[in-house]
Amino acid sequence: MSRLTTGPGRFPTNSLPAATFGRRGLLKGIAGIGAAATLPALLGACDSGSDENVAPPKGNPDDPANLTFWTWTTNVEKVVDIWNARNPHQKVTVSRQAQGEELLTKIITAHRAGNAPDLLHAEYQALPVLITNGAVADLTSLAGEVRSEFTEGTWNLTSFGGKTYAIPQDVAPMMLYYREDLFQQFGLTVPKSWDEFATVARQVRQKDANRYLATFSSGDPGWFAGLAEQAGANWWVNDNGTWTVSINDEPTKRMAAFWGGLVNDGTLSGKPMYTPEWNKAMSDGTLLAWPSAVWGAGVLEGVALTTKGKWRMAPLPQWNAASPATGYWGGSATAISTKSTQRAQAEKFVRWLNTDPEAIDALVAQGGIYPAATTGQSTPALSKAPLMLPNQPTFFADAAAIAKTARGFSWAPNVNVTYSAYSDILAKAIQDKSDFAAAIDRLQDASVADLKKQGFQVK
Amino acid sequence: MPGASSTVAPRRPRRGGGPTPYVLVAPAVVLLVLFLLVPIGYTVWLSLRASRVTGGGLGLRVEQFVGLENYVGVLTDDGYLQGVLRMLGYGAIVVPTMLGLALLFALLLDTPRIRFGAASRIGIFLPYAVPGVIASLLWGFLYLPNVSPIRDAVTAVGLPAPDFLAPGSVLFSVANIGVWGGVGFNMIVLYTALRGIPREMYDAARIDGASEVQIALRVKIPLIAPALVMTGVFSIIATLQVFSEPATLQPLTDAIPSSWVPLMTIYRDAFVNNDIHTAAAASVVLALGTLVVSLGVLSFLQKRAFGRGQ
């Protein structure tokens, strides 16, 4: 699921997306602490030693069922209503428990307590955490039937070691949003390479000392991971149970050093995204561009509605013009709980939700997602430009072309720890104006130390 | 309440009486056990365990007993220990400032020549009615450089703009939110205590030629010492539990890491990093620390305030 649909309610003035695994989820959780720590759930957690994958009951997919679905996709109730009208004996109930990393924690707690829902919203980077907690079922049997609906890169997001644990719902390829009006006003050209990006960033500072081309955010690890992915990084590889962690690989450090140099010499801003300051900067033109994902158009609507028609979307600047690439920022899949007793019916629903043309079109139209299924990427609801970019009628066609260049990425079972460490370490580097590449070495050390502590084999 | 029973008139002694006392005390005991002792016991139990990975492939987490490993981890974690120091620094700023202002306002409101007393009292009390998270958001807007009206005002008169969220000033900025929210409550407690002092005392002091300032320093403050002790202990406990103000400001700035104070570390471990066991160990450490500090402060202040050891 795209971040577009997450509304942390942090600021009542708009609907900001929550950083998945970022520090921004914190606030939402303050209210949730009491609920999450109820005694029965805690006491139930005592039996968590018995986390083995239970063999799925051989059920009939058409048997009556009553399925619970924990998700936070915008307006997903309306999509589920279509299912419920078609399948009156197999009712699906949507329950909005939490979002982002809190939903992850709730799912694991509920799983330990033995009352997990049948259907789960699983963000790609959270999936390994769910798998290693034994919370999501192996869907390899279902996978064979739907595999052809997805590209290789997308499919790899939910498959580990030949097993598939979830069916992709949406993907979020990264792209560059920029203020077309201000680019014209200042006579800037849209950067095609990151070198050009740096040049344009300096030009902006020369033309107007109050403006920046863009900001580097310590609060959005998913954003950073997407940029690293574009640069060619491969942070995690699992070879037969042994993990190789290379967060400080050459592409990531090159990318981090590039941003760090520009932030430290004042060419780019170093303030976090999704703050009241950022909202203001995005609407008053203090920031001229935003490397974001396909759902970014929806975020602009929330934070900078007055700039409607002034933005345009282009591919991210490239490291190597010969082989254009992009990364993913966000996106999620639908999984089934290992404890579900209605496995066959749940599989039927998951398949319908993420591959049926009617369901996908409703998800796009109602939920504003960018579907993972390739046929869905030309669904009728995507023929119109987003509200904020009426000046770019080919928005989704352009997005589809960019999506084809997305590199694959595989995630580790401690992405949550790595992400929270990212926020602290990079925030400190920005404050101290110190070397970002060195900060990435510290991030690597923190991530590896945690993986080892948890008992994983690390090379 | 110690000593409360001595004020009750002694009844006819009944030895070996029926089940009545147990029945009467049962609800309180049940609630105490169920909602205090069991969760504490469960937290301690959790803190001695950890989820560790077994098996090949991606592996599977299994909960197991690890002894004091989590405690060693907590006590050797630089982030947590720095958080403890920062929390103590926060307390050193907040507690004296907040109680000093509360006492000052209470004494001013209690002077005979006060005007607009009720309105001032409500005005000072009002911030306490604003929930901590909302207060932090309000202050967040006032602190953030590009949206801060305070900075605009300061630069308008030609002074350099203050940076409320710089590494050196962020502690004071957070403390300011705590003081702003807490003064009103403590002021009401102290003011109520002041109103409970018999007026004859002041008349006597005035006859002896004492000024209003002397009455405040020599009569009022010593007489409300118990209330000062109580507000002091409450404030110290509140300091040890500081969470919502920095946690709310954290996403807005690079100046506050996720382990800024101990409770933020505990929150992050439990709800972001999904490591309830380390969080449980850190909670036990913090709770023990709170207990020791509260008891220490209480016994010290009681000796001072009441002039007796008990």
CATH topology of domain A3-37+51-171+329-392: D-Maltodextrin-Binding Protein; domain 2 (3.40.190)
Q: Looking at the structure, do residues B60 and B104 belong to the same domain, yes or no?
A: no
Mutate to test the interface with B, among A14, A24, A27 (most CBs of B within 10 A): A27
b/e burial code for range A89-112 (CB count within 10 A of at least 16 → b)? ebebebeebbbbbbbbbbbbbbbb
A80-131 residue pLDDT tens: 999 999 999 999 999 998 888 788 989 998 998 999 999 999 999 999 999 9
Domain boundary among B12, B38, B67: B67
Q: Which of A32-46, A59-73, A86-100, A260-274 has the lowest mean pLDDT?
A: A32-46
Question: Over the stretch A361-377, which tens digit does the pLDDT of each residue have?
Answer: 999 988 888 999 988 88
Which residue in chain B is spatially nearest to A162 when comparing CA positions?
B57
| Cβ within 8 Å, pair A454-B61 | yes
Co-location of B161 and B179 in the same domain:
yes
Q: How far apart are CA B270 and CA B62, in angstroms?
A: 17
Contact B139, B268 (CB under 8 A): no
Q: Select from B48, B67, B86 the last residue of a domain.
A: B67
Beta-carbon contacts of residue A227 (< 8 Å; ≥ 6 apart): A174, A255, A259, A291, A316, A327
Best of A159, A424, A430 to disrupt the B interface by mutation (most B CBs within 10 Å)? A424
Cα–Cα distances in Å, from A338 out to A45, A53, A108?
A: 16, 6, 11
CA distance A299 to A292: 10
Q: Give the domain ranges of chain A.
A: 3-37+51-171+329-392, 173-327+408-458
In a domain, B4, yes or no: no
Listed residues B67, B102, B120: the one ending a domain: B67
The domain of B80 spans: 69-306
Which residues does chain A have within 8 Å of residue B275's beta carbon, measured at their own beta carbons? 417
Burial of B81 by CB count in 10 Å (0-12 exposed, 13-18 middle, 19+ buried)? Answer: middle
Q: What is the pLDDT of residues A71-90, one digit of tens each?
A: 988 889 999 999 999 999 99
C-alpha to C-alpha distances, B77 to A219, B188, B227, B262, nearest whole angstrom:
22, 40, 38, 11
Q: Tell me the chain B residues in contact with residue A280 when contact means C-beta distances shorter than 8 Å.
A: 146-147
Scanning A361-380 for CB atoms below 8 A from B yields none
In the prediction, which pLDDT does A177 show? 97
- Considering the domain architecture, whether residues B191 and B60 belong to the same structural domain is answered as no
Alpha carbon distance A215, A431 (integer Å): 14
Contact B53 A11 (CB under 8 A): no
pLDDT tens sequence across A281-333:
999 999 999 999 999 998 998 899 999 999 999 999 999 999 999 999 999 99
- Residue B261 forms part of a structural domain: yes
Contact A110, A312 (CB under 8 A): no
User: What letter does residue A234 receive in the DSSP assignment?
Assistant: -
* Partners of A237 in beta bridges: A244
User: A272, B144: Cβ pair inside 8 Å?
Assistant: no
- The answer on B237 and B157 residing in a single domain is yes
In chain B, residues with a C-beta closer than 8 Å to the C-beta of A416 are: 272-274
DSSP strand pairing (A289-293 vs A167-179): antiparallel
- Chain A residues with CB-CB distance to B60 below 8 A: 51-52, 132-134
Question: Tens digit of pLDDT for each residue in B173-207?
Answer: 999 999 999 999 999 999 999 999 999 999 999 99
Greatest CA separation found in chain A?
68
Strands (E) located in chain B: 49-54, 60-65
Beta bridge partners of A164: A159
> Is B155 near chain A, with CB under 8 Å?
no
State whether B41 and B77 are in the same domain.
no
**Would you say the CATH fold of A173-327+408-458 matches that of A3-37+51-171+329-392?**
yes
Within a domain: B1: no
Residues B287 and B141 in one domain: yes
3-state secondary structure of A211: coil
B120–A contact, CB cutoff 8 A: no
Residue of chain A whose Cα is closest to the Cα of B139: A276
Dihedral angle over CA of B287, B292, B297, B300, nearest 10: 160
Structure tokens at A368: 């504003």
d(CA B185, CA B182): 6
Q: Which two tokens stand for residue A232?
A: 């060619």
Residue B17 lies in a domain: no
- Domain contains B15: no
For range A229-243, the mean pLDDT: 91
CATH number for B250: 1.10.3720.10
Whether B119 and B223 share a structural domain: yes
State the helix-helix crossing angle for A357-367 and A76-86, rounded to 10 degrees.
150
The predicted pLDDT at position B249 comes to: 94
DSSP B65-112: E-TTHHHHHHHT-HHHHHHHHHHHHHHHHHHHHHHHHHHHHHHHHTST
Q: B62 and B98 share a domain?
A: no
Which residue in chain A has the smallest CA separation from B269?
A417
The answer to whether residues B140 and B287 belong to one domain is yes
- Residues in A closer than 8 angstroms to B251, CB to CB, are 10, 22-24, 26-27, 219, 272, 274-275
Residue A276 has, within 13 A of its CA and on its CB side, a CA count of 20
CB within 8 Å: A128 and B61: no
Give the alpha-carbon dihedral of B37, B40, B44, B46, to 10 degrees. Answer: 110
Cα A417 from Cα A420, distance rounded (Å): 5
**Distance from the A356 Cα atom to the nearest Cα atom in chain B, whole angstroms:** 31
Phi-psi map region of B67: left, alpha, beta (phi>0 left; psi -120 to 50 alpha): left
Neighbours of A161 (CB within 10 A): 12
pLDDT over 60 (residue A4): no
Q: Is the ipTM of this complex over 0.90?
A: no
| Token reading at A176 | 């560059």
H-assigned helices in B116-169? 117-129, 132-143, 149-156
Provide the token pair at B143.
Answer: 């602190």
Strand partners, A269: A215
**Cβ contact A6:A331 at 8 Å:** no
Q: Which chain B residue has its CA at the smallest distance from A101's CA? A: B272
Q: Per the domain annotation, does B128 fall within a domain?
A: yes
B105 with B38, same domain: the answer is: no
How many other C-beta atoms can be found within 10 angstroms of the C-beta atom of residue B100? 13
Q: Is B102 domain-assigned?
A: yes
CA distance B250 to B264: 10
A173-327+408-458 CATH fold = D-Maltodextrin-Binding Protein; domain 2 (3.40.190)
How many domains does chain B divide into?
2
B200 touches chain A (CB under 8 A): no
State which H helix or E strand residue A240 sits in.
Answer: none
Q: Judge: A454–B56 Cβ closer than 8 Å, yes or no.
A: no
Same domain, B31 and B125: no
Distance CA B290, CA A229 (A): 45
Name the H helices within A208-342: 221-231, 250-264, 276-284, 296-303
Query: What's phi and psi for A424, nearest 5 deg?
Result: -70, -45
Interface of A with B in 392-431 (CB under 8 A): 413, 416-417, 420, 423-424, 427-428, 430-431
Rg (chain B; Cα; Å): 25
Average pLDDT taken over every residue of chain A = 86
- Any A CB within 8 A of B130 CB: no
Same domain assignment for residues B263 and B192? yes
Per-10-residue mean pLDDT, chain B, length 310: 50 70 93 95 95 78 91 93 94 96 94 86 92 93 90 88 89 96 95 93 92 92 92 90 93 92 94 91 93 86 62
